[in-house]
């Protein structure tokens, strides 16, 4: 491989996150330059953050040298993909493994976007203060410099096992229901913040028993004006009576008050009316960035939709995948139906794969999404909202005040899944693990080192960290409490997915 290597900074669309991450990315870039120099390689920088697709096209398109993207904060997939698709020069995504800024999250999203487009690339990461002293990282970087790719172990990626007769019967029954009445998803916008890996389109969706109805998010603004004050007031009384703890008007968030929450409930009721009108089964809600200057953040509304205990409830959660992510929406809806078929509570949970660390000899992921989480995760009580807290979403990202739907997830066995695109087909990754209760000091340290306003789950995903970092095709994961592992495998196969199981040995 050529000695000369280009370094670039994939960025966020929004100026502030790029500014906040500047110190981190400057430090990481110097670390990468030092590591390359140690390996006898010369590097040069492509100037500035790539913050628009055209910048990626214009700055990466002409580059034929091997190229490394430095990922230390949230980055939009197209700010890499649009400049490298169709090219064959070696491409590496490199991240510091840190919870402060979600660089590894950006790496996972961008890697999945590249995979969906068939663009070959490699990934590398380190949590070492001095990258050049991390022997594993340096060996992997050297492999990429010499061969143009890094080969990672696939020992924890398994073919799906033969499932039990009982699991197959349950899956067959649910598959029959889906074939008799296709699952209808309402898409409030397409893709969010560069997560193009999470949009499949009607062609692929229809192959696996789903279809979509697109509704412009502008309808939320228009129809929301016609939601009555009484309905909103009743909804607010309901969530208060059911146990939500609101952190209104606290220091630094003085603009977050009951009126802000009521505006979030207006949006919840508006979407609920759309669900009723179109007989919708599940939702993908973009919310960022389209309405960010017009409406409060949608997190509180989305958390309620994912909860059976909610205003004007029909007794069931309505699966809502935030950020219009069909890769989570699809498995969430399938797991919901399987949970019901097994007589378990049908709540499913949307999370980011945010960061992780060792605790008592095992690696735990911090699963932490902005608020599209079921209340059931916090209390294991279908008819309660106790354990739910609502803090103002950080003003740097959300100018109009509105609250999160957050809490600490209860311990328990979990099943997880993720749908994604590869080679023009839909795949499903399935795994099982455990939500773990941490000692308060450890929990608080981990929570505060990420985003403490957001819902928290410490999870053993049943697979090694490096397998997730090297092979997982998203920054998101769909989670539920209870064992529907075999049933999810069987149902996915019955609907036409190609299935992988991610599972450590033993």
Cα separation of 483 and 410, whole Å? 15
Crossing angle between the packed helical segments 165-180 and 485-495, to the nearest 10 degrees? 40
Phi, psi of 41 (to 5 degrees): -105, 150
Question: 364 in helix, strand or coil?
Answer: strand
Cα separation of 256 and 179, whole Å? 45
Cβ pair 303, 373 in contact under 8 A: yes
Whose CA is closest to 242, among 298, 323, 196, 308?
308
CATH topology of domain 165-502: L-fucose Isomerase; Chain A, domain 3 (3.20.14)
Radius of gyration of the chain (CA): 22
Cα separation of 123 and 92, whole Å? 6
Q: What are the structural domain ranges in the chain?
A: 4-147, 165-502
Cβ pair 434, 506 in contact under 8 A: no
Structure tokens at 224: 């929301």
Strand partners, 284: 187, 321
Q: Tokens 């909610």 — which residue?
A: 310
Instruction: Identify the sign of the CA torsion 450, 452, 455, 457.
Output: positive
Whose CA is closest to 428, among 204, 114, 144?
204
Cα separation of 236 and 333, whole Å? 27
Structure tokens at 117: 């487009």
CATH of 4-147, one of 3.10.20.340, 2.40.50.100, 3.40.470.10, 3.40.50.1070: 3.40.50.1070
Cα separation of 388 and 368, whole Å? 15
Q: Tokens 């109805």 — which residue?
A: 213
The pLDDT value recorded for residue 262 is: 98
Distances in whole angstroms, Cα of residue 480 to Cα of each of 109, 306, 333: 22, 11, 11
Write a three-state SS string for 148-208.
CCCCCCCCCEECCCCCCHHHHHHHHHHHHHHHHCCEEEEEECCCCCCCHHHCCHHHHHHHC
Q: What is the pLDDT along the chain (506 residues), one digit of tens a residue?
A: 777 999 999 999 999 999 999 999 999 999 999 999 999 999 999 999 999 999 999 999 999 999 999 999 999 999 999 999 999 999 999 999 998 888 999 999 999 999 999 999 999 999 999 999 999 999 999 999 999 999 999 999 999 999 999 999 999 999 999 999 999 999 999 889 999 999 999 999 999 999 999 999 999 999 999 999 999 999 999 999 999 999 999 999 999 999 999 999 999 999 999 999 999 999 999 987 889 999 999 999 999 999 999 999 999 999 999 999 999 999 999 999 999 999 999 999 999 999 999 999 999 999 999 878 999 999 999 999 999 999 999 998 899 999 999 999 999 999 999 999 999 999 999 999 999 999 999 999 999 999 999 999 999 999 999 999 999 999 999 999 999 999 999 999 999 999 999 999 86
Strand partners, 415: 432, 480
The pLDDT value recorded for residue 506 is: 67
For the chain, the residue count is 506
Question: Counting beta carbons within 10 angstroms of the beta carbon of residue 426, is it exposed (0 to 12), middle (13 to 18) or buried (19 or more)?
Answer: buried
Question: 125 in helix, strand or coil?
Answer: strand
The pLDDT value recorded for residue 174 is: 98
Question: 430 in helix, strand or coil?
Answer: strand
The pLDDT value recorded for residue 379 is: 98
HSE-CB of 426 using CA atoms within 13 angstroms: 28
Sheet holding 183-188, edge to edge: 210-214, 183-188, 282-285, 320-322
Q: Tokens 């089964």 — which residue?
A: 281
Kindly report the number of other CB atoms within 10 A of residue 86's CB atom: 9
| Cβ-count burial 130-147 (b if 16+ within 10 Å, e if not) | ebbebeebbebbbebbee
Whose CA is closest to 106, among 475, 478, 477?
475
The pLDDT value recorded for residue 400 is: 97
Q: Which helix (H) or strand (E) holds 85?
A: none
- The residues near 361 (Cβ < 8 Å, ≥ 6 apart) are none
């Amino acid at each position: 491989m050529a000695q000369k290597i280009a370094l670039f900074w994939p960025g966020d669309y929004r100026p502030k996150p790029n500014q906040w991450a500047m110190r981190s990315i400057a430090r990481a870039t110097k670390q990468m330059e030092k590591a390359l120099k140690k390996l006898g390689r010369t590097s040069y920088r492509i100037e500035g953050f790539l913050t628009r697709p055209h910048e990626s096209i214009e700055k990466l398109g002409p580059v034929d040298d091997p190229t490394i993207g430095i990922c230390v904060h949230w980055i939009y997939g197209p700010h890499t993909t649009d400049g490298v698709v169709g090219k064959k020069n070696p491409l590496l995504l490199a991240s510091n493994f840190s919870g402060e800024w979600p660089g590894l999250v950006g790496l996972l999203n961008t890697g999945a976007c590249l995979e969906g487009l068939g663009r070959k690339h490699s990934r590398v990461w380190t949590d070492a203060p001095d990258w050049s002293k991390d022997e594993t990282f340096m060996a992997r970087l050297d492999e990429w410099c010499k061969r143009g790719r890094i080969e990672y172990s696939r020992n924890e990626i398994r073919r799906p096992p033969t499932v039990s007769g009982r699991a197959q019967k349950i899956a067959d029954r649910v598959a029959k229901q889906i074939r008799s009445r296709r699952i209808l998803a309402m898409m409030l916008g397409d893709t969010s913040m560069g997560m193009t890996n999470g949009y499949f389109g009607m062609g692929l969706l229809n192959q696996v028993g789903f279809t979509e109805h697109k509704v412009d998010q502008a309808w939320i603004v228009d129809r929301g004006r016609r939601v009555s004050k009484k309905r909103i007031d009743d909804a607010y009384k309901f969530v208060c009576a059911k146990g939500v703890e609101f952190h209104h008007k606290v220091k630094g968030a003085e603009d977050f008050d009951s009126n802000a929450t009521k505006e979030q409930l207006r949006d919840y009721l508006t979407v609920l009316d759309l669900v009723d009108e179109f007989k919708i089964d599940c939702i993908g809600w973009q919310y960022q960035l389209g309405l960010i200057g017009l409406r409060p953040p949608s997190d509180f509304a989305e958390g309620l939709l994912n909860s059976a205990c909610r205003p004007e409830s029909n007794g069931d959660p309505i699966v809502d995948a935030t950020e219009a992510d069909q890769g989570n929406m699809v498995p969430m809806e399938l797991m919901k139906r399987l949970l019901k078929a097994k007589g378990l509570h049908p709540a499913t949970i949307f999370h980011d794969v945010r960061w992780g660390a060792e605790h008592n000899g095992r690696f735990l992921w911090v699963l932490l999404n902005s608020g599209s989480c079921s209340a059931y995760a916090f209390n294991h009580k279908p008819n309660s909202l106790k354990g739910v807290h609502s803090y103002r979403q950080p003003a740097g990202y959300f100018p109009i005040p509105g609250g999160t739907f957050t809490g600490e997830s209860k311990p328990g066995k979990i099943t997880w899944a993720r749908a994604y695109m590869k080679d023009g087909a839909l795949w499903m990754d399935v795994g099982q693990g455990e939500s773990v209760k941490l000692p308060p000091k450890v929990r608080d340290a981990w929570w505060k080192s990420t985003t403490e306003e957001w819902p928290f789950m410490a999870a053993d995903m049943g697979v090694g960290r490096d397998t997730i970092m090297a092979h997982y095709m998203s920054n998101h994961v769909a989670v539920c409490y209870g064992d529907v592992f075999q049933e999810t495998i069987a149902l996915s196969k019955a609907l036409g997915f190609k299935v992988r199981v991610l599972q450590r040995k033993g």
